[in-house]
A and B are shown apart, each in its own frame.
Chain A
Amino acid sequence: MLDDALRSNRLPAAPGVGYKPQHFSQILENAQPVAWLEIHAENYMGDGGRPLAQLRHLSKQFPISVHGVGLSIGGETPLDLDHLARLKHLVGWLNPASFSEHLAWSTHDSHFLNDLLPLPYTGATLTRVCEHIEQVQETVGRQMLLENPSSYLAFEESTWSEPDFLSEIVSRTGCGMLLDVNNVFVSATNLDFSPQEYIDAYPLDKVGEIHLGGHDEDKDDHGHPLLIDSHGREVANPVWKLLDYVLEKSGPKPVLVEWDTDIPDWPILQAEADRALAALERVPA
């Protein structure tokens, strides 16, 4: 269980965006309405140079969220201690406003597959994931937010629903949640469940950050819709609607727009952040 002394997360309940180096000078000129920035931890684990110089500069003006994509929390093998030490170092000097990772695995047999791979929701997975989260929180010295995945398939062996599984992790480890609303919509479409019911069962009071991102549309072998969490376009309209549903229940939260491939010009990202701001302004504080 998380020690009360560990610092928790404190992003503003305002729009943020995933930081891309090509937007550096425009962000410094006019960031409105973007109030905070998120970085992928692994891109800032070099020894020096431009990436770290830019990050140091931005961190003086914006709250920063450190979002790990390579820790492999759900891995069957032990956590990579070198990687954990790099994460501790980054969080240590940067002192970010938030620190998060994914319910997923990406490393196996010392091979890093550079994707967020799915987990069966079983007792064995639960034990392993909780052990890893406790190890991360103890090493890094602060609370971690855990992000719900986007799913393209399910495991026959699963015995837990995803929201119940996440709630159980939260209560065992004291971690917080990162609710990715696009992931909920993608998984709900791909696996035929109600996204609203999923949200109803989600530990919303433990959510420290919300993610939004664009998805692509495809079909599976049987013609069933298959949405792909691609982060390469605008957030889809039904995902904005689902955000309204979430915020009405949760109250205002930090809302991040992710756009990681086919990265647009800064004004297009600003427009997405404007939509997030409008959604936040519709919610009574």
Chain B
Amino acid sequence: MSVSQTAFSAAILDATHPVPEGLIDAKAQPAGGRFSVYRNNVAVSLTEAMQQAFPVVTKLIGKQNMDGLAGIFLRQCPPSSPLMMFYGEEFPEFLGGMAKLSHLGYLPDVARLELALRHAYHAADSTAIDPQSLAIPPEDLMQARLTLAPAVQVLSSDWPIYSIWQYNTQPNAAKPEPQAQDILVTRPEFDPLPGLLSEGGVIWIDLIQNGTSIGEAFEITVTETPEFDLGSTLALLLQGGAITSVNIERPGT
């Protein structure tokens, strides 16, 4: 009796599947419970990968609940690549679909932030500009286009996502107050750093990443968000080493 990998993998992921026939023990008897070694290896290794990947989600719901959720998730969404560093891309959406977790509406965004931090951690290296490069006449600055580091990620949330992250990872952080928050993730050296973006920052950074000049992006952003603060947004980017080049096109040159 030959055992296909289709049958083998189906029985690994679903313990209600019978152990495939044709697998035997040392005495040529059916392998029975020995098959559980593979079931356990797969479930335990993927559950541990999920806990490592989403430490704040794990902290928020408790390790036991995370184990249970990971057990359901890994069967619905087994890894699609051997790169375990990016496992769990579908987890935010999965969390959003769990009726039992609907009272923790911020969980999917916390998971999105943890994914963004991981992507930033593994993103390509880059060299930040000297902040002095931006100390140029305002009319030149407004014409300038910026290149941002590959590690830069932006997240927009209806929840106080930054405060929740701080509260669960930093000692003495203030208790989160209900409000919408946007986050800029940078990677000054090797450790990803979430920063709180002021209102409109997400729109402006998105425009900058699409090659819009600083001034034009500013004009567009303030029509939607008059309170947008360009200075603090630039400062946050500089602080995170997130600007890798400044290109100034002077008219007529």
Closest chain B CB from A177 CB (angstroms): 22
- Inter-chain contacts of A69 with B (CB < 8 A): 82
Q: Are B9 and A113 in contact (CB under 8 A)?
A: yes
Interface string of B44-55 (1 = CB under 8 A from A): 011001000000
If A80-B82, A83-B82, A107-B82 touch, does A157 touch B1 (CB 8 Å cutoff)? Answer: yes
- Inter-chain contacts of B79 with A (CB < 8 A): 111-114
B2 at the A interface (CB under 8 A):
yes
Q: Tell me the complex Cα distance, A80–B31, Å.
A: 30
Q: Are B34 and A43 in contact (CB under 8 A)?
A: no
A25 at the B interface (CB under 8 A):
no
Interface string of A86-116 (1 = CB under 8 A from B): 1000000000000000000111111111110
- Inter-chain contacts of B4 with A (CB < 8 A): 76
Which residues of A in the span 39-53 have a Cβ within 8 Å of any Cβ on B? 42-43, 45-53
B85 at the A interface (CB under 8 A):
yes
Q: Are B24 and A156 in contact (CB under 8 A)?
A: yes
Q: Are B33 and A155 in contact (CB under 8 A)?
A: no
Which residues of B in the span 136-167 have a Cβ within 8 Å of any Cβ on A? 150-151
A191 at the B interface (CB under 8 A):
yes
- From B120-128, B176-184, B220-228, the one touching the partner chain is B120-128
Closest chain B CB from A213 CB (angstroms): 14
- From B35-43, B62-70, B104-112, B199-207, the one touching the partner chain is B35-43
Q: Are B150 and A156 in contact (CB under 8 A)?
A: no
- Inter-chain contacts of B126 with A (CB < 8 A): 48
Q: Are A153 and B2 in contact (CB under 8 A)?
A: no
A69 nearest CB neighbor, chain B only:
B82
Q: Are B6 and A108 in contact (CB under 8 A)?
A: yes
B189 nearest CB neighbor, chain A only:
A50
Q: Tell me the complex Cα distance, A26–B197, Å.
A: 38
Point out the residue from A49, A108, A155 that lies within 8 Å of B187, measured CB to CB. A49
Q: Tell me the complex Cα distance, A53–B190, Å.
A: 9
Q: Are B38 and A49 in contact (CB under 8 A)?
A: no
- Inter-chain contacts of B12 with A (CB < 8 A): 113, 115, 117
Most buried by A among B42, B82, B187: B82
B235 at the A interface (CB under 8 A):
no
Q: Tell me the complex Cα distance, A42–B66, Å.
A: 25
Q: Tell me the complex Cα distance, A168–B125, Å.
A: 44
Point out the residue from A47, A86, A152 that lies within 8 Å of B38, measured CB to CB. A152
Closest chain B CB from A132 CB (angstroms): 14
B32 at the A interface (CB under 8 A):
yes
Q: Tell me the complex Cα distance, A201–B68, Å.
A: 45
Q: Tell me the complex Cα distance, A73–B26, Å.
A: 25
Closest chain B CB from A19 CB (angstroms): 16
B97 at the A interface (CB under 8 A):
no
Q: Are A156 and B82 in contact (CB under 8 A)?
A: no
A29 at the B interface (CB under 8 A):
no
Closest chain A CB from B7 CB (angstroms): 10
Q: Are A42 and B83 in contact (CB under 8 A)?
A: yes
Q: Are B150 and A114 in contact (CB under 8 A)?
A: no
Point out the residue from A48, A107, A108, A155 that lies within 8 Å of B24, measured CB to CB. A155
Q: Are B5 and A120 in contact (CB under 8 A)?
A: no
Point out the residue from B3, B32, B82, B151 that lies within 8 Å of A221, measured CB to CB. B32
Q: Are A50 and B121 in contact (CB under 8 A)?
A: yes
Q: Are A153 and B34 in contact (CB under 8 A)?
A: yes
Q: Are B26 and A192 in contact (CB under 8 A)?
A: yes
- Inter-chain contacts of A108 with B (CB < 8 A): 5-6, 8-9
- Inter-chain contacts of B37 with A (CB < 8 A): 152, 226, 228
When A and B form their complex, which 10 residue pairs have the shortest distance between CB atoms, in order from nearest?
A: A70-B82, A46-B122, A50-B190, A153-B31, A48-B125, A192-B26, A47-B124, A112-B79, A111-B78, A48-B124
A sample of 5 more A-B contacts (CB under 8 A), given A86-B83, A152-B38, A154-B26, is: A47-B122, A48-B122, A53-B190, A82-B81, A153-B31
17 sampled A-B residue pairs with Cβ under 8 A: A42-B83, A46-B85, A46-B122, A52-B125, A72-B82, A75-B5, A76-B4, A114-B49, A114-B79, A115-B12, A122-B2, A152-B35, A153-B34, A154-B23, A190-B34, A220-B33, A224-B26
Residues on B close to A: CB < 8 A?
1-6, 8-9, 12-13, 22-29, 31-35, 37-38, 41-42, 45-46, 49, 78-85, 121-126, 150-151, 187, 190-191
